[in-house]
Amino acid sequence: MRIALVSPKGPLYRHRGGIFPRSLRYAPLTLTTLAAYVPPELQARVELHDEGIADLEPDRLDADLVGITLITGNAPRAYELADRLRARGKTVVLGGPHPTLLPDEAAGHADAVVVGYAEQTWPELLRDFSAGRLRRRYLQGPDLSLAGLPVPRRDLLDRRRYMTSAVFEATRSCAHDCEFCVAPTAWGRKQYQKPVEEVVADIRQFGARKLLFVDLNLVSDPRYAARLFEALIPLKVRWYGLATTLIALERDLLELAARSGCAGLLMGLESLCEASLGQTRKGFNDPERYREMVADLHRHGISLMGCFAFGLDGDTPDVFEKTARFAIEAAIDLPRFAIVTPFPATPLHRRLEAEGRILHRNWELYDAQHVVFRPLHMTPEELQQGHERAWKQTYSFGAIASRLWRARVAPQVSLAANLGYRFYARNLHRFYTCDWFLGGAEPLGAGASVVAAPAPSVEVPAGVHLAGAGEPRGRGATCG
C-alpha cells in the first residue's frame, strides 16, 4: 500500500522564506505522528508532503490513499487537491480542525472524513481500506488515550528544510472555554495527557537540546505541568511553549518552568479591556497585572510572545495605537497582533452570523490576518488598516530598541527575532505572519490564543488550529 500524507498551503503562507535562507516553519508534527500510526502489518510505503516547503503536484502523486489535513484557511487548497486526486481515481481522506467543525462540507470532497483526534480511527481506517470496506466517516471514540503510542516518524521529513524538527507535545486540548476558540467546539475541554515518562523518552531518543512544545496550553493542568517540568530538569534542555497568563499566578510553577529550561512562552493577552476579556470567557486575564507579569517572566529568564486581538466589540479606532504603545512600554519581547476571526461552528461565528455581521465564507481569508466580519465601532477597512499600523508601530527600529533594552533577555536572539518580525510587519500584504519564536531556530507553535496555526492535523496533535481572536462583549459598549 502506498500512502501520502499532505499538509496544504494557504493563500498567504507559502514556502517563501522571505529574507531568510530557510523556511521559518517548524517541522509539522501531525504528518510524522500520523505516519507512526500506520499499522505495521500493512507494510505501507508512506511519504509526507508539506506545502509550506514545496508545492505538491497532484497529477504526479503516486499513492493508493491520500490523507490531507486542513485548517480553515487552507480548506480551499485542500479541496482543490482532493478533487483533482479523486478525479484521477485516488482515494482521499480529509481530517483536521476544519473537517471536524464542518464534516458535511468536507465530505463533498473526500471518500472518507476523520472527525476528531485520529489515534484510534486512523489505523482503523487504513485497515478498512486495505480490506475494501472503507466507511464514509470515522469519529473519535470516547476512550481516547495518549498512552503507549509510537513516537512520530520525524525521519520522514528533511530536517534541513525547517528551522527545527525538535517538536514535541505532552497534552491535547485545553480546560478553558474561550468563546472564540476552535478547541472546545471541536474537541471539548478535557485535556488528554501523555505519560510524562513517555514525553521524556521521546525527547531523549531524538537527542534535542532545544525544543518546542506545541501543546495549546501546557499549564492547563498545573499538577501535570509540574511533573513534566520536574522531569525535564535532568535533561538540561531549553524549551519554548504555550501557556496562559495563569502561570504567573502560580509562583512555584513558574519557578519550576524556569528551572526546567523554559526560555520563551506564547501567551494570549488578547485585550487591555477587562470587559472584553470577560465576555470572551477569558476573564482570568488581568490587564492590570500584565506589566508585572512580563517583568516576572524576564526575572526568570523567560521571553514572552504576547498576542493581542483587534476587532472586539469594545474596540474603537484608538485601540491600535494604545495596544502598540502598551506592548512597547511593557517590554514584551515579541508582540503579535491578530484580527478577530469567527471560525466556523464556534460560538463567535454563530453570534455574529445571527447579528448579520459575517461578511463572507471565503475560508482562505479566515486566517486571523483579514477582516471577515463587520466590526461594531469601526469599518472593516479601519480594522484592517489599524491592524497593519500596530504592527509597523511596534516593529519600528526605535520600538524594537526600547522593548529589548527594557527586557534584556537573550538580547542577540531577541534582536534577530524582532528584525525578522519587522520584515513581516512591513510586508503583511505579501506574507502570512511567520510562525517562529525567540531563539532563532525555535519557531512558535500553533497559537495558544489568537494565532492561527499554519500546519495542523488529520487530526492528531501539533498546533491545533485555534480561533483567531477574542469573542466580543456586549453590544454598544466600548473600552476607552
Split at pLDDT 50, 70, 90, the class of 457 is: very low
Q: How many angstroms separate the CA atoms of 139 and 113, rounded?
A: 9
Cell of 45: 510505503
Evaluate if residue 461 carries a pLDDT over 80: no
Burial class (CB within 10 angstroms; exposed 0-12, middle 13-18, buried 19+) of 385:
middle
Of 146, 126, 101, 159, give the one whose Cα is nearest residue 5. Answer: 126
pLDDT digits (tens, 9 = 90+) for 324-363: 999 999 999 999 999 999 999 999 999 999 999 999 999 9
Q: How many angstroms separate the CA atoms of 441 and 446, rounded?
A: 16
Cell of 363: 475560508
Q: Degrees (nearest 5) of the Cα angle 433, 439, 441?
A: 75
In this structure, the strands spanning 210-213 and 91-95 are unpaired
- The pLDDT, as a whole number, for residue 371 is 95
Evaluate if residue 299 carries a pLDDT over 60: yes
Q: How many angstroms separate the CA atoms of 276 and 125, rounded?
A: 43
Half-sphere exposure of 250 (CA within 13 A, CB side): 18
Q: How many angstroms separate the CA atoms of 313 and 5, rounded?
A: 40
Which pTM does this prediction carry? 0.87
- The pLDDT, as a whole number, for residue 431 is 58
Q: Which homologous superfamily is 162-425 in?
A: tm_1862 like domain (3.80.30.20)
Q: Are the C-beta atoms of 22 and 161 separated by less than 8 Å?
A: yes
Q: Are the C-beta atoms of 436 and 93 separated by less than 8 Å?
A: no
In this structure, the strands spanning 65-69 and 2-7 are parallel
pLDDT digits (tens, 9 = 90+) for 117-161: 999 999 999 999 999 999 999 999 889 999 999 999 999 999 988
Residue whose grid cell is 470572551: 280
pLDDT over 90, % of the chain: 70
The Cα-based distances of 295 to 259, 329, 349, 407, 417 in angstroms read 17, 11, 36, 8, 19
Split at pLDDT 50, 70, 90, the class of 274 is: confident
List, in order, residues 6 or more apart from 111 with CB less than 8 Å away. 86, 91, 92, 93, 134, 136
Evaluate if residue 308 carries a pLDDT over 80: yes
Evaluate if residue 243 carries a pLDDT over 60: yes
What do you get for the CA distance between the two ends of the chain, in Å?
61
pLDDT digits (tens, 9 = 90+) for 37-80: 999 999 999 999 999 888 999 999 999 999 999 999 999 999 99
Domain limits, the chain = 2-139, 162-425
Provide the 3-class DSSP secondary structure of residue 131: coil
- Backbone phi and psi for residue 243, each to the nearest 5 degrees, phi listed first: -155, 170
Cell of 145: 488515550
pLDDT top residue among 469 and 407: 407
Residue whose grid cell is 475494501: 132
Q: How many angstroms separate the CA atoms of 402 and 473, rounded?
A: 33
- The pLDDT, as a whole number, for residue 23 is 58
Q: 2-139: which CATH topology?
A: Rossmann fold (3.40.50)
